[in-house]
Amino acid sequence: MFRIASRRTSAYTSKLVQAQRQSLTRTIYTNNARPTSQLKPTSGTGLTLSQIPRPRHITFAQRVRLHYREASKGIFRKNPILLPLAIVGVVSAIGAFVFITYVEVTLPQIPPPVADALRTAVYYTEIDLNPPKALQGYKEALRIGVELGMHPFSDEVLGIKLQVAMMLEKAGLVKPAIEVLERTKDEALNWVEQGHNTEAATVGPAKPEAVQTSTLAQTAADKVQIDTEALQDAEEQLREMQEFEARQRDRALKKVVGMQMKLGELYASDHIQDDKKAEAAQVAAVELCLKEMHRRQKLGLPVGGGAEGAEESWLNMTEIATALGELASTYSAKERHELALPLYLRALGLIREAEGGSPSCKQVGLLNNVASAMVGQVQQPGRSQLKPSTAEQNVEAARQWAQKALDMAALIQPPARDEECDVSCVAATYNLGELAELQKKPDVALKRYSEAKSLAKGLGFEEGIAMADEALKRLSKK
């Protein structure tokens, strides 16, 4: 009986404590009244005030969070249809805002009627890919542009045509994209060459007929009073038009080089796999750069950049060097190192001229590529026609180039130093190992290969690790 009474007493006490705690909790959320300090237990269980959790005042922010939490409970159950629609509406509004911002930023100089047509085309390119509708929008934009008198080879018109090619490539229609690029490139190149020929004829030596015409004009000027201000205005307008056309030709030619490089990429892609056309496109881009550089040198124009006041109209030194380096890499991949080496050297010279006393990681990569091309010439089985003495000189020269790459990389500090520097260091160190092998120095080769593997591990460069492991295995078998 005592045990039963004790259990009942304990159960009653527990219920009482729980009821008191609930009462205190409700007080916190309602009127924030403090519990009286004279609270006493109703049974003889020894319950004290210290055993009851003391209430805390809550801040305004906490009350707001509590009300928000209470309001959010069951919101989906109460609004099973409106809530999803509201979420979709908010997401759609954000997407529309981003799309409008993108269009307004990317189409800043285009007349409003053309921009209206382009918004539809860009929507069906970037948001909801639909090639037929996008193509219809681009065609409409070009038609309106012609009616408004836009320059047929302006940045805006050429940009629309390039956007068409990009859209087709994005949709997996690589062949139509190539056709658009080829046609646009040929049209722009023909226009540029015609302008250059006209410009060369204009600045050429004066012909007897021109001198005679000038003399007759001067005689007429002596007899007839000419409006000097009108003549000066006409000459100024003609000069401005000529300068504008020259800048447009520079910009169009810059885009033609980019189109050639892009065509090389598309021809070499998995969709086409035509290495000959890819190489031909890269060669055409490089030849175009070198031809324009020669023309500019002859006319006394800046080799890199545009004319005065239009520095960005033509390719800068770094961009020209990039075109040369990509063609050289294509040759190196085909083990035609004798063709790659002069291109790497020319690209290195242009980069050095552009960067001056602040070298970047591009120089490090090109220095290593020069060393790789030299090593490749020596290692070509059955194709190297170098004499033994010349081969030894080439190996030593290649070692010096690879060491220069490491020395220059050590001078470049962050933020100028990037991943290109680190990967080039791995390649240069590996090349030094191969050169040590060729020079019959196995201990040096072992050290270099181990260093290359360690550097590659630090970068997570899996290809470098695999190459170093293979070289170490090969060296251990000798």
Per-position pLDDT tens, the chain of length 478: 334 333 443 443 344 334 443 443 333 333 344 433 333 444 443 333 334 344 445 565 566 566 556 655 565 566 666 656 666 555 555 655 554 554 455 444 688 899 889 999 999 998 899 999 999 999 999 999 999 999 999 999 999 999 999 999 999 999 999 999 999 999 999 999 999 888 777 655 444 444 444 454 455 455 445 567 777 777 788 888 888 888 899 999 999 999 999 999 999 999 999 999 999 999 999 999 999 999 988 888 888 764 444 446 788 899 999 999 999 999 999 989 999 999 999 999 999 998 888 899 999 999 999 999 988 888 775 555 556 667 788 899 999 999 999 999 999 998 889 999 999 999 999 999 999 998 999 999 999 999 999 999 999 999 999 999 999 999 888 7
3-state secondary structure of 86: helix
pLDDT at 3: 41
> 39 in the Ramachandran plot: left (φ > 0), alpha (ψ -120 to 50) or beta?
beta
Distance between start and end Cα atoms, the chain: 96
Q: Are 47 and 17 in contact (CB under 8 A)?
A: yes
Gyration radius (Cα) of the chain, Å:
38
* SS3 assignment for 293-339: HHHHHHHCCCCCCCCCCCCCCCCCHHHHHHHHHHHHHHHHHCCCHHH
Rounded distance, CA 214 to CA 59, Å? 93
Q: Looking at domain 344-380+388-478, which of 3.40.50, 1.25.40, 1.10.730, 1.20.58 is its CATH number?
A: 1.25.40
Within 13 Å and on the Cβ side, how many CA atoms surround 67? 8
pLDDT at 182: 97
Q: Which residues of 62-101 are buried (b: 16+ CB within 10 A; e: fewer)?
A: eeeeeeeeeeeeeeeeeeeeeeeeeeeeeeeeeeeeeeee
Planar angle of CA 314, 316, 321, nearest 5 degrees: 125
3-state secondary structure of 408: helix
Rounded distance, CA 309 to CA 41, Å? 92
Both tokens of 31, joined, read: 């009127």
Domain ranges of the chain: 84-150, 344-380+388-478
Rounded distance, CA 424 to CA 325, Å? 15
State how far the alpha carbon of 454 is from the alpha carbons of 265, 369, 436, 461, 469, in Å: 33, 21, 18, 10, 11
pLDDT at 476: 87
Provide the residue count of the chain: 478
Peptide bond into 35 cis (omega under 30): no
Please name the helix (run of DSSP H) or strand (run of DSSP E) that holds residue 224, with its range, or none. none
Rounded distance, CA 430 to CA 249, Å? 45
pLDDT at 208: 43
> Which amino acid, one-letter code, is at 170?
K
pLDDT at 223: 47
Q: What is the dihedral of CA 54, 60, 63, 68, to 10 degrees?
A: -160
Q: Which residues of 401-429 are buried (b: 16+ CB within 10 A; e: fewer)?
A: bbbbbbebbeebeeeebeeebbbbbbbbb
